[in-house]
Homo-oligomer: A and B are copies of this chain.
Amino acid sequence: LPISDIIVITGGLGPTHDDITKDVLCNYFNDKLIENNTWTKKLIDQFNQRGMDLSERNKTQAFIPSRSTLLWNDFGTAPGMLFNENGKLIFSLPGVPQEMVNIMENVGFQKIIDLLNSSNTESIIYKNIQTNNIPESSLADLIDIKEDFLGNSSLAFLPSYRGVKLRIGAYGESKSQAEKELSRIENYLIPRIDNYIISFDERPFAQIISEKLIIKNKTLAIAESCTAGLLSATLTDIPGSSKYFKGSIVAYSNDIKNKLLNINNEQLEKYGAVSKEIAEEMSNNIRKIFNSDYGISITGIAGPSGGTKEKPVGTVWISISSADITFSKLLNFRGSRDMIRERTVQSTMVEFIKFLK
């Protein structure tokens, strides 16, 4: 038996000659493949729906080691498998990321939680605090944790495009002790960094925006330049976004900004496309063009070329408008084209969440 208590293997479950994971597992566990009739039927149905017969190749995907449990895969032809050997879990999952995630979210994580709950009276409760608009080192200075403060608990600083996420791991010898420990850490932490907290969970910013707009029954339109649709695509990742998202215009040149967003050519000349004035006009005009309650605009220099001394690569103006209020903000990012675009989108969502408060 392996030394680790939980092992997750991905890949090698496809129908081609290089897919040997199941053979290796049979070899390791001294097991043999048997047909899972439910999965065979699922494959036959799926192929029939496409007007095809189940091929011999794909039929082999319904055979799994006899000592494993089949884990349902909503999206692919290969099921996941789980071995439970004397309380040790060995997962074998498809390598296609979405299929792997689907199986883990459906049943995999629950199997792990069950294992942990069954074998342990000690408890660790995790809680996330998503911050934004403050670098990791300044956040650490604000929090200023003393030597023995954490004890057996932990506090992790996890930076990403969304900002720095704090992950508290509160330890206790029972669940209620862990809960007390979490309160103790939160009571110390939160007042110190309140201004920078965006949310207390893992919800994407687009999800938070979605919930706010649906509650307010308001609509949104977007004018994007350097991010070229990335904000629109990110906000519409959320099912049901058609309730509040009306659409957007990607205006990649001054010509199009003039023609489709009704931006005055003289103003474009005077202020430059990347300016407070143009950003504000874009957010107001897009709101009027789409007849939406809110307008958001982004105009900036994602690079690698196009920067100047006054407006280096990474200079971005964003604006958010309603009928009453026009907000704008200058952002400055370093990094690659990708990073600048992605950070712009995340920061714009943060500003919009604040705007909706």
Contact = CB atoms under 8 A, between A and B. Distances in A.
B249 A253 contact: no
Nearest to A140: B16
Interface in A119-172: 136-138, 140-141, 145, 154-157, 159-160
Contacts of A154: 18
B256 A247 contact: yes
Given A137-B57, A335-B98, A247 B246 contact: no
Nearest to A60: B137
A98 B339 contact: yes
Given A15-B136, A16-B140, A252-B247, A232 B228 contact: yes
A252 B246 contact: yes
B239 A228 contact: no
Contacts of A229: 224, 228-233, 236, 248, 250
Contacts of A260: 247, 249, 289-290
Interface in A65-92: 75
Nearest to A143: B16
Contacts of A75: 334-336, 339
A249 to B, nearest CB: 6
A68 B37 CA distance: 56
B303 A239 contact: yes
Contacts of A137: 14-16, 55, 57-58
Interface residues of A, number: 65
A237 interface: yes
A294 interface: no
A253 B248 contact: no
A75 to B, nearest CB: 5
A186 B14 CA distance: 23
Interface string A308-334: 000000000000000000000000001
Contact of A247 (B159, B239, B249, B338): B249
A191 interface: no
A279 to B, nearest CB: 17
A96 interface: yes
Contacts of A250: 222, 229, 232, 247-250
B140 A57 contact: yes
A284 to B, nearest CB: 17
B252 A249 contact: no
A39 interface: no
A337 B240 CA distance: 11
A309 to B, nearest CB: 13
A249 B222 CA distance: 10
Contacts of A228: 229, 232-233, 235-236, 241, 245, 247-248
Given A18-B155, A229-B230, A247-B249, 16 more contacts: A14-B159, A55-B141, A58-B137, A98-B336, A98-B338, A98-B339, A228-B236, A228-B245, A229-B229, A237-B341, A241-B252, A242-B253, A246-B252, A249-B249, A260-B289, A260-B290
Please list the 10 inter-chain residue pairs (A to B) with the smallest Cβ-Cβ separation, ordered nearest first.
A229-B229, A229-B232, A228-B236, A230-B233, A229-B233, A248-B250, A57-B137, A16-B140, A15-B137, A16-B157
